[in-house]
Amino acid sequence: MSQSANNPVSNNKVPQIKIPATYIRGGTSKGVFFNLTDLPEAAQVAGEARDKILQRVIGSPDPYGQQIDGMGGATSSTSKTVILSKSEQPNHDVDYLFGQVAIDKAFVDWSGNCGNLTAAVGAFAISKGLVDVARVPENGICVVRIWQKNIKKTIIAHVPITNGEVQETGDFELDGVTFPAAEVVIEFMDPADGEGSMFPTGNVVDTLDVPNIGTFKVTMINAGIPTMFFNAADLGFKGTELQRDVNTDAATLERLETIRAYGAVKMGLIKDISEAAARQHTPKIAFVAAPTDYTASSGKQISASDIDVCVRAVSMGKLHHAMMGTASVAIATAAAVTGSLVNLAAGGGERDAVTFGHPSGTLRVGAAAALVDGQWTATKAVMSRSARVIMEGMVRIPGDTF
């Protein structure tokens, strides 16, 4: 048997190791879930060993951009990892740590949450005994109190239980997910940053100057996840774009990344635009437009009368196929703030819920926001998602990974 010069026969005899893991779809994302105590001891604390293990599990860094040699699916929605443990916080059941694994670069971004995978956290915690059995009903809804460690926020998941076990099947339909499942209601408590105004500059609408590109109106908000909202037309979009309209245009993606980098500096998340490359997960960049008829990626016809606003978001350098859960929180919160670009695109005025159109369809989200002592604050954002275990068992990685 011959081997090419680029793929020589390996003399590495190091055996693989097995790590208990569960592969779960949560919302419109998929990720590999771990119980903290199941990880190798070196990975039970933050650091290089943990990052290397998670990268190898997912199949990164992969210069081919395909993650063929791992569990990742070569998109921002499927290059995700979750570590759960019994909560160290009073009145909480489980601590939830999210790691966004870069596809072609050697790093894991711990700077934000994944709202979609949040839908699966409660179910995993229940199944792994991380929730006190006294809190799990035989039939009904189990209220799981989640401490989101990345952003230090409380999330409440309402997980359906049938005959003492998590119910995953049902008739709840989520655009962006092919098959129906059981509905999981998620409450993001106090979703704003918590340090001063949820608008980092104190302004609901700012002006962002990007050298050699332009000057833009932008709403920058820390709610759910740091997000910058632009008017679609200002960026040269209609607001009805699908992935194929944006992700095949390298020049457009590069321009959006440059805008994101300058916005990250203005939001105070980084000090220099050069730091943006190592912080791909946050902030998000999104653009909004008034409701318009369009055809979703599935072929489903979306009518302007079915939605309040069109929203598109970029995640990890690519237009998202649906909408990130955390960005949905940002959308709901911004829509509730009179005068924000999201609010204005949705028609303006006071509102406690918004139905937005995204590339895969529509989603309704709710939020409550109020002006207190001159600063906007949000108490809660609510949305429905679903989750389903796809596979559970052992994931293997080479023993010399870390």
- The pairing of beta strand 353-358 with beta strand 309-315: parallel
- Burial (CB count <10 Å: 0-12, 13-18, 19+), residue 99: buried
DSSP 181: B
Structural contact between residues 289 and 304, judged by C-beta atoms closer than 8 angstroms: no
CA–CA dist 169, 359 (Å, integer): 25
Structure tokens at 371: 């002006």
And the tokens for 120?
Answer: 């699966």
Q: Which of 114, 142, 316, 383 is catalytic?
A: 114
Beta bridge partners of 95: 85, 147
Q: Is 383 a catalytic residue?
A: no
Q: Is 114 tagged catalytic?
A: yes
**Residue 391: count of CB within 10 angstroms of its CB:** 11
Residues 42/57, Cβ–Cβ less than 8 Å: no
Per-residue buried b or exposed e for 364-388, using 16+ beta carbons within 10 Å of the residue's own CB? ebbbebeeeeeebbbebbbbbbbbb
| CB of 338 closer than 8 Å to CB of 350 | yes
Active-site hit among 310, 316, 324, 383? 324
Going from the C-alpha of 365 to that of each of 178, 336, 349, the distances in angstroms are 20, 11, 17
Active site residues: 114, 324
